[in-house]
Amino acid sequence: MRNGFLFLLLFISKLAAGQSAQTLYFDPGSTLGAPQSRIFESITYVPLETTKQSLFGQVSQLVVTPDYFVIFDSDTRGLYFFNRSGKFLKKYKDDKYTVIDMQFIERENAIYLLQINKNFRPTEQERDEIVRNPFSKSSLKYGRSILYDLADINKEQISEIPGFNIALAAPSYLASNQWAYSVVLEDKNAKDSVDYELKISDGSKLLRAYFPYKKRNSSYFSNPADIGFYNTGLEGTLLFTRTYNYSIYMLTTDSVTMLYNFVLPFENSIPKSFFTKEFSSRNELREYKQMNPAYVWRIYSLVPFNNYLFFSLDYEKRDRRFLFDRNSNRFYNINRITPDSSNAYLPVTGWSFQYYDNTALYSSISSDAMFRSKDATQSKNPEYSPLLKSYFENSKPSSNPVIIILKPLTKTK
C-alpha cells in the first residue's frame, strides 16, 4: 500500500519539519459534482459466483487480500472466500461464535476475526461494564480473537490469540503486539475521575493512552468504540478521527499527530454548550441529536489514496460522503459523481467504500441494483465488457452481489 499513500508520507515529513496541521474550510453544501471518469482511471465490476453453497444476502464486511475477496454476511453469519475473479472457493461458519469484526494482518498472512459467543445477550449495562474493564478475564467467555491462516484456506487452520483480553473493545491492529482501541463512556461511580479516549495495548495490559476526559460527568454517552481507525498501509501507522471533533490524526507506535483540521459552517458545528451539558441518559443524547440534524458529530470512513482523501460526515443529511483533492484543494460530493459511458452508465459505488489497498478502492452492490440500473440506461446504448455481458445474460436480480473495484486517477481532470 506504500505507493497509494505517498502523499501521507510527504505530509508527515512536512510536519516533522515543523509545519502545523493543514486547515480545511469545508462547506458540505458547496461541493462539486463530476462524471466518474474525471475521478477514476477505471471501474471494474466482479460478479461473485452464485451457487447453492455460496448464496448470501449482502457484503456486511469485506477484506481484500492478494488472492481473495473475504466476505462476511451478517444474515447467514457465514464467512465466504472468493478468488479475485469472483469464483466461490469456500464458506466458513462457526457453530458457537459469530464474526463482529475482521482485519487482514499482512505480516501474519491471516485474517483476524473478532468473534462473539452466539449465546451472549448482554444488557446495555452489562456490555458497558465489560468494555470498561477490557482486561478482565471474565470477558473471555463472551468472545475471542482468532487468526485464520490464509496459506491454505481449506485447512481452516485457526489459532486463538492467547491472553488477548481486549477483544470486546474492538481493537485495530497497529503493529506487532500493539493494538489501538477506544472506549468512551461516562461512569458516575468510577474510582478514577479521568479516563482516555485512545489507548494502546498489547492485548493484556495498557501501554499508552491519549486524550483525557472526565468520565464521572461528561457528554460522552455513546457506543463503546468512539474513535475510528483507518489503515495507511504502513506498519505501525494508523489514521483516526474522534467523535465530537473535526480533526484527522495520525497514530504511530509512539506518537499522535494532527494532520488536518476541518472548519465547518456555523450551522453544522457542534456548539460549545454541548460539551458542558449534562445528559441524564443515552436516550436524552439521541433526542438532542434528532433535534439538531444539521450538526456534524464526527468525520469517519476515511480512505486516504494518492492525493485524495475520501471521508463521510455523521449528520442527518442525505449527502454524507465526500472527496478532498489535495492537488486542486477541491471538495467533491460522492453522490454527485455520476456514471458515464466509460463504466457503461452503471452505479459508481454501492453503499460505501468497504475496503482499500495500494491499488484500488472496493465497494459492493446488489445484483438487483445492477439489473435495475441496466434496465434504466438502455436508451444510452451502453457498451458492456464481455464479463458484464455474460453476467447480465446468465445471472438474475437475486444472484450474489457484485464487487466494484475503483482505481482513482493520480489527479482529477
Domain ranges of the chain: 3-408
pLDDT of 5 > 70? The answer is no
What residue has cell string 449527502? 319
Q: 14-18, 140-144, 279-283, 323-327: which range is least confident on average?
A: 14-18
Local confidence band at 14 (pLDDT 50, 70, 90 cut-offs): low
Helix (H, G, I), strand (E, B) or coil at 228: strand
Cell numbers that stand for 214 in this block? 472526565
Share of the chain above pLDDT 70, in %: 93
Q: Rounded to two decimals, what is the model's pTM? A: 0.90
pLDDT of 2 > 50? The answer is no
**What average pLDDT is seen over the chain?**
89
Amino acid 73: pLDDT: 95
- Find the mean pLDDT for residues 125-141: 74
pLDDT of 70 > 70? The answer is yes
pLDDT of 12 > 70? The answer is no
- Find the mean pLDDT for residues 111-123: 85
Exposed / middle / buried, residue 3 (Cβ in 10 Å: 0-12, 13-18, 19+): exposed
Q: pLDDT: is 193 or 380 the higher one?
A: 380
Local confidence band at 351 (pLDDT 50, 70, 90 cut-offs): confident
169-188 per-position pLDDT tens digit: 889 999 999 999 998 877 77
Amino acid 6: pLDDT: 52
Q: Where are the beta strands (DSSP E) in 74-155?
A: 78-83, 88-92, 97-105, 110-117, 143-149
- Find the mean pLDDT for residues 155-161: 93
Amino acid present at 1: M
pLDDT of 299 > 90? The answer is yes
Q: Which of 211-220, 226-235, 395-404 has maximum average pLDDT? A: 395-404
What residue has cell string 466509460? 342
pLDDT of 264 > 70? The answer is yes
Local confidence band at 1 (pLDDT 50, 70, 90 cut-offs): very low
Local confidence band at 213 (pLDDT 50, 70, 90 cut-offs): confident
Query: How many other CB atoms sit within 10 Å of the CB of residue 107?
Result: 9
We find that the CATH architecture of domain 3-408 is: 6 Propeller (2.120)
Q: What is the spatial distance between Cα 383 and Cα 173, in angstroms, rounded to a whole number?
A: 42
- 3-state SS, 158-179, equals EEECCCCCCHHHCCEEEECCEE
DSSP state of 252: E
Bridge partners of residue 148, in order along the sequence:
111, 158
Amino acid 321: pLDDT: 95
